[in-house]
A and B are shown apart, each in its own frame.
Chain A
């Protein structure tokens, strides 16, 4: 019987981190304690709890992590609510990896990089950021602009503060939507902050966050002189199969699961506005 992509592998949740009030990060390995499969930065995997459902999540851990995979998951539907109630030791099923990764080894190589994320939109970018940090000498300067509703809603806050911000050549710019006690950093929305910071255009930008953030950040970058060919994002639509057959995640003739989820903005211009 030939291999079947719809039949998943068995995974075990070994660690659950409460990142924000509504986001938890799940560490998953095989029953033997090994990494389930290799992936590239920006790829996704289907996670399921039999009887509850199956859903697509970005793999937030870097491919350079050889021990496990991590998924940062916001509580917002059936599968995610169930996962948020789970405890370490819980089995899950995993299949993947699906989709195209960010072009980290060719287009990004040797370039300055700007990552812009909002809320749980950091999850897919964390994989890329940590990949680029791992191979630090392959890339130029790295800027990371990350914003959330409040300090408590910043995903991976400890890692950002303790690891990313202390790396040489990596600049982290955090912002929260409204003033908050105990926060002396920037206050304001991500798109405005990006414009205020005023980046030079000699770099690749990668955006991920709520649609409204992406829209205005792209406009901000355009006003700074960025071309759409320099700006990447990753899309999310409802998926069932992950391999371009179940028919629901298409935008025009492109399937987000198979032709995406990573798209360049000039590529998105070629597609109908239905995402």
Chain B
């Protein structure tokens, strides 16, 4: 394990930024967000960014290809390019786990080359959560806020930042800043881990369990009368899907430019009425059906297809952002019954 004094953090950032684009969480008007580090940019102390870190690998909008059309002719232009090396610093345990969940979708055959090339170039430096909040329930999904994964795991104390490489990519990055870090024992880290675990135990959502959910539960929950009540106030705004680190549904659309046509991919939401709309009808015509799809996907369908892994990391963003205060915890408590309360 290495450590660096917080007063030297800017120097470390400068060293990292020499070889790769470096993104860190930065405070802004609407809360924290990942921003490109430059001289003078300070790291946020916020527990988490408003939007998740999924943008780094699955951006909200990206061009897939271009076309030139003239009369009856079409030219297909594959303008994919080698991506640049980049480092994302300060990713929380929940968001780090979300990459594993997205990997199962985008890196399964046929591999999504756009996602894969970013995954290949990105280095993740995670940051343990010193102060998990009352909307956090990562523990429900087996995530340890005190010991996040990633290429490097970092722990921040009052005075120092402790760094532990978990992968070859991580080792390489650590060696690049070795001149301003020093070897250390893990005592301070162990102490912080204990403190974080103690906080996690006391959090209001610490008793939410996944026991009642997972693979093979479609029949049990699909026709539950509870969906009517749960979905009755849903506005279909899609905010939950946009802030969600694991929501991965996308749309592909064409945009006519002056030069030709750009085919782009953008985030989509199963909460929207036109998501499944076809010329002859809609397979999920009501908001109840769309609402049910989102939660069944996270709690049952995704586990069905991914060895029981859930498609939620308990980051709590949907709890704070939903305009009608509906969220996955309420769904789990209602469907799972009293035992889950």
Q: Which residues of A contact B (CB under 8 A)?
A: 1-10, 49-54, 76-77, 80, 87, 89-93, 236-238, 240-241, 243-253, 271-272, 274-275
Pick the contact of B252: A77, A90, A241 (CB < 8 A): A241
Q: Does B248 contact A (CB under 8 A)?
A: yes
Is B72 a contact of A247 with CB atoms below 8 Å?
no
| Chain B, residue nearest A13 (CB) | B72
B74 lies within 8 A of A10 (CB)? yes
The reply to whether B252 and A76 form a contact with Cβ atoms under 8 Å apart is no
Question: Is the CB–CB distance between B304 and A7 below 8 Å?
Answer: no
List chain B positions with a Cβ less than 8 A from chain A: 64-65, 67, 69, 72-76, 78, 80, 82, 105-106, 108, 110-114, 116-117, 218, 222-223, 248-254, 256, 260-261, 263, 265, 268, 270, 275-280, 283-284, 289, 293, 296-297, 300-302, 304-305
Inter-chain contacts of B223 with A (CB < 8 A): 272
Across-interface contacts of A92 in B (CB, < 8 A)? 74
Q: Tally of A-B residue pairs with Cβ under 8 A?
A: 126
Is A250's CB under 8 angstroms from B67's CB?
no
A253, B218: Cβ atoms closer than 8 Å: yes
- Cα–Cα distance between A87 and B73 once the two chains are bound (Å): 12
B55 CB to nearest A CB, Å? 17
A91 and B301 contact, CB distance less than 8 A: no
Contacts of A240 in B (CB 8 A): 250-252, 268
**What are the residues of chain A within 8 A of B283 when measuring CB–CB?**
237-238, 251, 274-275
B301 close to A250 (CB less than 8 A): yes
Given known pairs A90-B72, A92-B74, A245-B112, the reply for A76 and B280 (CB within 8 Å) is yes
Which 8 interchain pairs have the tightest Cβ spacing? A247-B249, A50-B67, A253-B304, A91-B74, A253-B301, A77-B279, A76-B279, A50-B261
**With A6-B252, A10-B76, A80-B279 given, is the CB distance from A51 to B304 under 8 Å?**
no
Alpha-carbon separation in the docked complex, A93 to B14 (Å):
46
B residues near A90, Cβ cutoff 8 Å: 72
Given contacts A87-B72, A91-B74, contact A246 B249 (CB under 8 A): yes
| Contact residues in A for B260 (Cβ distance below 8 Å) | 50
Is B67 a contact of A252 with CB atoms below 8 Å? no
Specify which chain B residues have a CB less than 8 angstroms from the CB of A8 in the assembled complex: 76
In the complex, how many angstroms separate the beta carbon of B315 from the nearest chain A beta carbon? 19
Q: Which residue of B lies closest to A249 (CB)?
A: B276
Q: Say yes or no: B248 contacts A245, CB within 8 Å.
A: yes
B90 CB, min distance to chain A CBs, angstroms: 28
Q: List 23 A-B contacts (CB under 8 A).
A: A1-B82, A2-B111, A6-B64, A7-B65, A8-B76, A9-B76, A52-B254, A87-B72, A89-B72, A91-B73, A91-B74, A241-B250, A245-B106, A245-B250, A247-B249, A247-B270, A248-B275, A249-B276, A252-B222, A252-B304, A253-B301, A272-B222, A272-B223
